[in-house]
Chain A
Amino acid sequence: MDTLEIKKEKNKNQAPANISGSQSVLEAFIAEGVKTVFGYPGGAIMPIYDALYDYHDKLNHILVRHEQGAIHAAQGFARASGDVGVVFATSGPGATNLVTGLADAMIDSTPVVCITGQVFAHLLGTDAFQETDVINITTPVTKWNYQVTDATEIPAVLAKAFYIAKSGRPGPVLIDITKNAQLQKFDYEGYIKCDHIRSYRPAPIVRNEYIVEAAKLINEAERPFVIFGQGVILGKAEKEFKAFIEKAGIPSAWTIMGMSAIPTDHPLAVGMLGMHGNYGPNLLTNECDVLIAVGMRFDDRVTGRLDKYAKQAKVIHLDIDPAEIDKNVKTTVPVWGDCKETLPLLTKLVEHKVYPQWLQKFADCTAKEQEKVIKQELNPSSEILTMGEVIELVNELTKGDAIIVTDVGQHQMAACRYAKYNQSKSNITSGGLGTMGFALPAAIGAKYGDPDRTVVAVIGDGGFQMTLQELGTVMQFNVDIKLLILNNQFLGMVRQWQELFHEKRYSFTDITSPDFIQLAKAYGIEGRSIIKREELNSALKEMLDHKGSYLLEVMVGKENNVFPMVPQGKGVAEVVLCKEDI
């Protein structure tokens, strides 16, 4: 904001500056408060990188090792900071390498702005070197995208890009800029932030009558149940949410994306929903009488079989995206709007209540899960380490203050099931897309997004090998992140399914790994590999106390399974606690 005002002031006294399209991109970044950019240069984006040379004191550019790394880092940055993550990539392969990250950011509603270079406008459609139709390739995986062929468009287009990326339900935006537009000089009249687009309503209008109706349902409920998602975090509505559940006294469970919005030890927090969520929240979804969904989208991993999902309950759905209402689960009362706005209105109308018997039911379920699953996971009788006990010890040592970034698979489920959090924006994971290889680059981004916090990346041996080139980025920029590899020498989650549903036919899930410690050493990163329980505490301490990045490999049980589980095609109430129950 300050920058903008200074600029306006300047413009009054000075004639419009003659600058290049490339410079205007960087000016836009500065006006938007961008300090960190993740990127990789190449032919079609060279003019922007040339301009960047003169901006190195204002913009911190992190050179990644692959464009996928750049966008996952930008995602990690956005998720840790709550700001927009920014990416530079060149045309052709540079741009196509962004696609996985764009799809990930799209499904997990992460605000990211990607700038891709493009061939000269006169070469468009000629199959020129490194030309690819980026706009059409990325259309399904962007909230908005636009191709710039004339530099004079850049300030307004970038203003729109940032506004669209972060407003309403956030999402990724891609701006493709042809090389001629980057080089073109034009009369720059300053940067004006975008705050309104005619055809775009970031948030629907709040309808008071539905709030009244929702409050009435809640006040009459005997077994109300709140389920919440990332909407609470994206809406920066953690305080409002806490006030709501505390006044209404309602037990609350999170989706994987909503995790850490309230502290995990909150008395009303009853755990995680979903396929590998906690026993109680899944089972009791089908016993509540009013289900209040806040900023979540009833993903199939949360609902299981829809025709067996909460059929007995009246459903109140608070969401900023009107397309989510009734998409998967029929809503009794829709509450359209930003939950930062709607939650306080609802809180005002709900009565102070407590539901001791209802909460006891959750506690009983927790006790059952404790007995049948958690006890063995945290205090195993065997000598072989479990993923759960590693995470439990991380909790103890970090006191729940670390940002935990996870990859995808069994370790992800273990981390999300057992991690404890005190503050919001602490759990960064690829929820919707399930992108293996997400964790390492996302952890790099998270460290830049919130440099004061400890960042622990929990990664499986499979996923780590998908983006381990980013160790080069960690090395070059001395990024202080802790890499915790839980190595079960298998593609564990697929193996678990093969064991449970494919008669143990382990088709290509047996994966060998390089010596991760030597690999880390090659990148100048300290590391250690352990297999014994007695080493675990000291090794984790060593990792956390180490100045700079550190890689700790923990060898865990090869054929351990994650439970509870709602098997695919089953209802949430059919959640099982062990293999024998399937």
Chain B
Amino acid sequence: MEKQEYTITVYTENQIGLLNRIAIIFSRRKINVESLNTSPTEVDSVHRFTIVINETEDVVKKLCRQIEKQVEVLKAYYNTDNEIVWQELALYKVSTDAITEKVKVERLLREYGARVVAIRKDFTVFETTGQREETDGLVKVLEPYGLVEFVRSARVAIIKGSSRFHERLKEFEKKEPGEDVIENEFLDKNEEVFTM
């Protein structure tokens, strides 16, 4: 099995220490976390982790089961890049002189759809949002003109084939889950990731 990029989405309770519990599932197996984001969800009191790793599907599947085993984890899903819509945000600090003096820099920034977030006498900060190639591309072209600082955020991702987690959550809140709740089905059927 080939290694490829997987985005793991984990729905959890909002609990101190859970980040560590999830992180050590990766570090114990010497797996590097490429990107990690925590965020609230559309459901009050439910949080989500978005984690990007490079691994084989077999490993990712097992990791998700280990994550899901944690008491405060409601559900963990994994998706390939084409099953999700994803974005990252990047900030670039450039000397203001470089932009005012060199017309090319201004043009490049416009080409990459960069927006200005701060202008000072000595420096200017730009922002772009997009996928890895886009944010990385701007770094490369800005470098010759004195890129002072660069930072990129973690990935945020929406699963294309998902239904509202809200509905699924109701099942969790039921003491005795209904007949139609199918446990672990997602392990084999990637398209219906939200079936439980």
Contact = CB atoms under 8 A, between A and B. Distances in A.
Interface stretch (A30-38, A65-73, A134-142, A310-318): A134-142
A240 to B, nearest CB: 21
Contacts of A321: 69
A322 B20 contact: no
A156 B21 CA distance: 21
B20 A139 contact: yes
Nearest to B15: A146
Contact of A322 (B71, B173, B184): B184
Contact of B71 (A144, A196, A204): A144
A162 to B, nearest CB: 13
Nearest to B28: A140
Contacts, number: 61
A199 interface: yes
Contacts of B13: 198-199
B172 A198 contact: yes
Given A199-B72, A327-B62, A205 B183 contact: yes
Contacts of A197: 71
A201 interface: yes
Nearest to B179: A205
A508 interface: no
Report the interface size class on chain A. Answer: 20 to 34
Contacts of A334: 184
B104 interface: no
Contact of B24 (A140, A199, A204, A323): A140
A538 to B, nearest CB: 51
Contacts of A144: 71
A327 B66 CA distance: 10
A200 interface: yes
Given A322-B183, A323-B69, A199 B12 contact: yes
Interface string A188-214: 000000011111110011010000000
A145 interface: yes
B159 interface: no
B15 to A, nearest CB: 8
Interface in A111-150: 135-136, 139-140, 143-147
Nearest to A204: B183
B157 to A, nearest CB: 21
Given A199-B73, A336-B183, A323 B68 contact: yes
Interface string B1-34: 0000000000011001100110010001000000
Interface of B: 12-13, 16-17, 20-21, 24, 28, 61-62, 65-66, 68-69, 71-74, 172-173, 175, 177, 181-184
22 contacts: A135-B17, A139-B17, A139-B20, A140-B28, A147-B16, A164-B71, A197-B71, A198-B13, A198-B172, A199-B73, A200-B71, A205-B177, A207-B183, A322-B68, A322-B69, A322-B183, A322-B184, A323-B62, A323-B68, A326-B61, A326-B62, A327-B62
Interface of A: 135-136, 139-140, 143-147, 164, 195-201, 204-205, 207, 321-323, 325-327, 334, 336
